[in-house]
Amino acid sequence: MSSLRVAVLASGRGTNLQALIEEWQNSFLPVEFVGVGSDKTDAYALVRAQEAGIPTAAFPKEGYPNREEQEKAIRDWLEDLNVQLLILAGYMKVFSPVFLKEVSYPIVNIHPSLLPSFPGLHAQKQALEYGVKISGCTVHFVDEGMDSGPIIMQETVPVFDEDTEDSLAERILKVEHEIYPEVIRLIAAGKVHRRGRKVHIHRDS
């Protein structure tokens, strides 16, 4: 059986991408990384991909007359790669409804909070300001809203009284690096099934 053809979009350091690459290199992920793209030409995620031998592409905002043309270029690139799953790993753009309607493959994202709490930017800061005792991260399918798609997997992280935004973010990130590869493995194995907003995972017995 052929491997799932996967592409990744990232905007920054690409630490979640690195976690995925390492699991793939260790034969944990039955996927084929066919491309890594970014809306930033200087994103370090592109360097990580190149070092792993994965083709890269950049789609900087300033290279297109408008958002529609930028998204079309990304969509065409993904189509040329015959992508079967798109992974967002710190990709700091929200896709337009047009983009989402014109792609035929699922898109997954990871967010540093227990959604639906604290969507959007600075989720760790939001959690600290609200005073929660438990935070965490969420892997979800992407829909037209802001971090509002059906939830695939969540993992909790305790919030300590002495936490800063940076210290909480660091602990959450470690958990992200564990559950994101696990979710991708389950998707590639055909064990993730979505029915409306409900996502069921069929694990090995």
Q: Are 119 and 173 in contact (CB under 8 A)?
A: no
Helix (H, G, I), strand (E, B) or coil at 20: helix
116 preceded by a cis bond (ω within 30 of 0): yes
66 annotated ligand-binding residue: no
Catalytic residue among 111, 193, 200, 202: 111
Return the DSSP state at 17.
Answer: H
56 annotated ligand-binding residue: no
Neighbours of 161 (CB within 10 A): 5
List alpha helices for 36-191, DSSP H: 44-51, 67-80, 97-102, 123-130, 165-188
15 annotated ligand-binding residue: yes
Cα torsion through 43, 145, 72, 52, rounded to 10: 30
26 annotated ligand-binding residue: no
109 annotated ligand-binding residue: yes
What is the C-alpha separation between 177 and 13, in angstroms, rounded?
Answer: 13
Q: CA 85 → CA 104, 137, 144, 179, distances in Å? A: 9, 20, 17, 17
111 in active site: yes
The size of the chain, in residues, is 205
Which residues does the annotation place in the binding site? 14-16, 67, 109
Residues annotated as part of the active site: 111
Residues tagged in the binding site annotation for (6R)-10-formyltetrahydrofolate:
67, 109
